[in-house]
Amino acid sequence: MSESASTVRSEILDVPRERWPHHIAVIMDGNGRWAEAQGLPRIEGHRRGVASVRRTVEECSRLGIEQLTLYCLSSENWKRPRGELDFLMRLLEQYMIEERATILAQNIQASVIGRREGIPANALREMDRTVELSAKNTGLRLCLAINYGGRAELVDAVRRIAREVLQGNLAADEIDERVISSRLYTAGMPEPDLLIRTAGEMRVSNFLLWQISYAELWVTEAFWPEFAEAHLHRAIRDFASRDRRFGGLRGSCG
């Protein structure tokens, strides 16, 4: 770890633990633009982005963050060139194999959300293997959003609820926020407290649309391959300084 990262880590130690986020979600943006700025092929940006994933996962685990959700592949990303998509699928398979030992050694519980259609069988097999082997781990919950779209998730939840109503297992009047939440891909997970976005983009890009209703947003100009422990620490410190009222007034209980 760099000296600056160590310094920032020491700075967040004075932030009361109860002010830290429990669940951090990250939109990892800017791999291709970073590579182009360096005069490198876009795929090299994705390769370097894996190193940022590793740093972020390991640091969240060391810090005792409850859950980290990473937006790895959007359902809209299938519009990219075939060669880039093939590389991303190979990279996904490679990540699941190479990081498995670290995930298990650090007591990380891995999960994957998103639709499985379109993902090669080899990558699916390695994803499922990592999820299965880490299922009983009790440390950081690492959720990877792969072939994920927030609208698609809501469509799938509505279809599931509609089937339950048609089958007589659920009454229409029983449908409330709790019912909808329990039919999402993220059922059983805490909602994100903090949403980090890299590359300076000021949008949520169809990510966790239901779940981030009250999340705090933190945007950095750094491209994802540049994202380091220091950025994570600054995001946590900034989050801890905010007054989260959830629709109430300052100092109110509601």
Name the active-site residue from 29, 31, 147, 193: 29
Are 114 and 147 contacting, i.e. CB atoms less than 8 angstroms apart? yes
Q: Is 141 helix (H, G, I), strand (E, B) or coil?
A: strand
State the burial class of residue 248 (Cβ atoms within 10 Å of its Cβ: 0-12, 13-18, 19+).
exposed
Task: Tell me the three-class secondary structure of 66-130, residue by residue.
Answer: CEEEEEEEEHHHHHCCHHHHHHHHHHHHHHHHHCHHHHHHCCCEEEEECCCCCCCHHHHHHHHHH
29 is catalytic: yes
Name the active-site residue from 77, 122, 137, 206: 77
238 is catalytic: no
> Nearest Cα to 120, choosing from 71, 78, 68?
78
Q: Which residues are catalytic?
A: 29, 77
